[in-house]
Amino acid sequence: MNETVTATASDVSETDPILRTEGVTKKFGTLTAIDDVSIEIPADEITSIIGPNGAGKTTLFNLFTGKHEPTGGRIEFRGESIGGLAPHEIVDRGVVRSFQITNFFGELTALENVRIATQAHYSGFGPGDFARHHASLEEPIADAYEILERVHLEDAARTTAANLSYGQRRHLEIGIALAARPELLLMDEPTAGMSPEETHEVVDLVRAIADDVTLVLIEHDTDIVMELSDQIAVLNEGELLSWGAPAEIQADERVQRAYLGGGGRE
């Protein structure tokens, strides 16, 4: 059993927490996937969640997004409890997840994919209401172009998603997430499967997005984690093993033993 680590923003950051958990626990039958985790995610910064396979990283994201309901404990976004809210209610509050798995319409263009995602913010658009009269699409289209520029896909606006390169598709997924106007964006392995050049581009993109969106990343590439993160939370067997600035995490012997040196569970 590890000693209990309680992560507070005051340890590493001066900013207010945007997301906070208090003793949050998630059990699947007899397995405790998240075990009494208390953490504060500071606003306007980049926080990474790392840990060996099966440590509970994805489960923690699923608790943040409402995919899973906590078995115990509390999750607050901007001071209000969100534990147990439906996923769409949590998105409406500004907590959005960018998926690693493809989450777009392959036969539609990059522009159309992002435009559809922006339409939720305009009154009068309902689900599936994709093909409106052109004039009523002006604002969503302008928004979509702005987002495509942000994710460096302006030149691929008219390319169907299926014909984008792997790296471009990952940019599109980030664009679709940005279309939901997140205050807090959860990114699941943004550089997974990318070439060194594509990785470099995404690292720059993540940094640019972090200028006005709080980011929480799950990332397996330790170099990227150390480069990008303002603070790092280390999970191990469902528990918060350590929390701190990159240099502190790198120097933490428990982290070395549990993660950087191998180990883990499936």
Ligand X SMILES: Nc1ncnc2c1ncn2[C@@H]1O[C@H](COP(=O)(O)OP(=O)(O)OP(=O)(O)O)[C@@H](O)[C@H]1O
Q: Identify the CA nearest to 18 among candidates 249, 215, 242.
A: 215
Residue whose CB is less far from ligand X, 78 or 220: 220
Q: With CB under 6 A, what is the number of residues at the site for ligand X?
A: 11
Stretch that binds ligand X, among 27-35, 75-83, 178-186, 194-202 (CB under 6 A): 27-35
Q: Quick check: 167 binds ligand X (CB under 6 A)?
A: no
Count of residues in the chain: 266
Rounded Cα distance, 203 and 206, in Å: 5
d(CA 83, CA 66): 7
Which segment (47-55, 107-115, 131-139, 241-249) binds ligand X by CB under 6 A? 47-55
Torsions phi, psi of 240, nearest 5?
Answer: -80, 105
Q: Does 190 participate in binding ligand X (rule CB under 6 A)?
A: no
Report if residue 224 touches ligand X, rule: CB under 6 A: no
Cα(247)–Cα(264) distance, rounded to whole angstroms?
22
Compute the least distance from the CB of residue 93 to ligand X, in Å. 23
Minimal distance, residue 182 CB to ligand X, in Å: 21
55/174 with CB nearer ligand X? 55
> Tokens 């405790």, residue?
32
- Interacting stretch for ligand X, rule CB under 6 A, among 57-65, 108-116, 157-165, 223-231? 57-65
Does residue 59 interact with ligand X by CB under 6 A?
Answer: yes
Residue type, 262: G
Least distance from C-beta 131 to ligand X, angstroms? 36
Tell me how far, at minimum, the Cβ of 27 lies from ligand X, in Å: 9
Residue 222 near ligand X by CB under 6 A: no
Single-letter amino acid, residue 200: H
- Residue closer to ligand X (CB basis): 39 or 55: 55
* 29 Ramachandran zone, left/alpha/beta (phi>0; psi -120 to 50): left
- Do the beta carbons of residue 197 and residue 225 sit within 8 Å? no
- In this chain, which of 21, 42, 46, 56 binds ligand X, going by CB under 6 A? 56
Q: Helix (H, G, I), strand (E, B), or coil: what is residue 50?
A: strand
The strands making up 80-81's β-sheet, listed across from edge to edge, are 31-42, 17-28, 72-77, 80-81
Query: What is the number of other CB atoms lying within 10 angstroms of the CB of residue 230?
Result: 17
Which of 61, 104 has the CB closer to ligand X? 61
Could you give the CA distance from residue 59 to residue 31 in angstroms, rounded to a whole number? 12
CB-nearer residue toward ligand X: 51 or 182: 51
Output the smallest distance, CB 225 to ligand X, in A: 13
Residues of this chain that interact with ligand X (CB under 6 A) are 28, 31, 33, 51, 53-59
